Amino acid sequence: MDNLMPVLLLVLAAVGLISLLSFRYVNQRRLRSRQREGLNLIQALQRMLSHVQRHRGLNYGVMKGAIELDCQILDLKHFISEDIHRIEHSNQWLSTTDSWGTITKTWAKLTNPHGTWICEANFSKHNELVELILDCIDLSVTEYQLIQLQTFDTDRSYGYLWQELLPTAELLGQVRALGTGIAAAGYHSDEDRVRLHELVRAIEVNMDCLWMNILNNQQLERDIDLFLSSVDDSIIVRKPSIMPHEYFNLGTAAIDGLYNHYQLEINHLTDHIFRESPIHPIFNSP
C-alpha cells in the first residue's frame, strides 16, 4: 500500500497537469476564434467607413455645383446598404448593440436626396456617421480583445491601425470633401481656408507617427504628399485651379493607399491566427 501512494500521487499530478493544459488549450482556441471573428468585423467596418467617406465627398461636391459627380452616388448608396446587410448577417453581437442601431438610423437619414439638405448640415451629418463607425471599430477591438495581439519576434503591436491610421484617413477624407466642394464652387471662404489648414497640420502630425509603423512604402508617401500639396497649389489659391473630380481622385488615391495597408495588415493577422503561427495574445495586468 505504501508503494502505491507515490504512484497514485504521480498519476493525480499527471491528470491535473493534462487537465490544466487542456483547459488552457481550449481557452486559447476559443480566444483565437473570437479574435479572428473580430478582425473580420473591423475589416467590414472599414470598408463601410470608406464608402461613407466617399459618399460624403461626392455629396458635398455635387451640392456645391459639381453635378458630374452625381452619377457615382447611387452606386455608393448600394455599396453601403450591402455593407450594412453583410455586417448584420455575419455578426450577431454588433447588430444588437445600441451603437450599431445609431449607425443605421443615421445612415437612413442620409439616404434622403441631397437636394433636401443644407450643404453644411449634410457634411456634418456625414461626419457624425463617420465618428460613429470609428467608435464602433474601437468597441469591437475591445470586445474581441484585439489590442492584445502582438508578434513573438518583434513584440510589435497592431494598435496603430485603429488608433492612428483610421483617424488619419478620416482627416484626409474631410480634406478631400472640403476641397472637392471648393473646386466645384470655384471659390473658398476664410473659414474654408482655416479649416483646411488645421486639417492638414493634424494630418502631418499623425503621419510622423504612422511612418514609424508603415515602412518602405514610397508610393503611399508620394500619393499623400501629392494630395496635400494640391491643397495649397490648387485649392487655397485666389481661384481654385483643379477640376472637382481630379482633386477627388487625388484624395482617393491617398486614402485608398492607407486603407490598402490596413487591409493587408488585418489579412496578415487573420492568416497567422488561422494557421496558429507565432501571433500571441498578451494579457495586460488590470
pLDDT tens sequence across 209-257? 899 889 888 999 999 999 999 999 999 998 999 999 999 999 999 999 9
For 106, the 3-state DSSP assignment is helix
pLDDT digits (tens, 9 = 90+) for 172-191: 999 999 999 999 999 999 99
Check residue 243 and give its pLDDT: 97
Give the residues across from 201 on adjacent strands: none
Task: Tell me how far apart the alpha carbons of residues 46 and 36 are, in angstroms, rounded to a whole number.
Answer: 15
First-residue to last-residue Cα distance in the chain: 48
Whether residue 83 has pLDDT greater than 60:
yes
Q: Indicate the DSSP class of residue 280.
A: E
Q: For the chain, what are the domain ranges?
A: 40-270
CB atoms within 10 A of CB 198: 11
Each residue's pLDDT tens digit, 40-78: 999 999 999 999 999 999 999 999 999 999 999 999 999
10 Å CB burial of residue 253 (0-12, 13-18, 19+) is: middle
pLDDT single digits (tens) 182-220: 999 999 999 999 999 999 999 999 998 899 889 888 999
Q: What is the dihedral of CA 74, 132, 116, 177, to 10 degrees?
A: -70
3-state secondary structure 126-186: HHHHHHHHHHHHHHHHHHCCHHHEEECCCCCECCHHHHHHHHHHHHHHHHHHHHHHHHHHC
pLDDT at 26: 47
Domain 40-270 has CATH 1.20.1630: yes
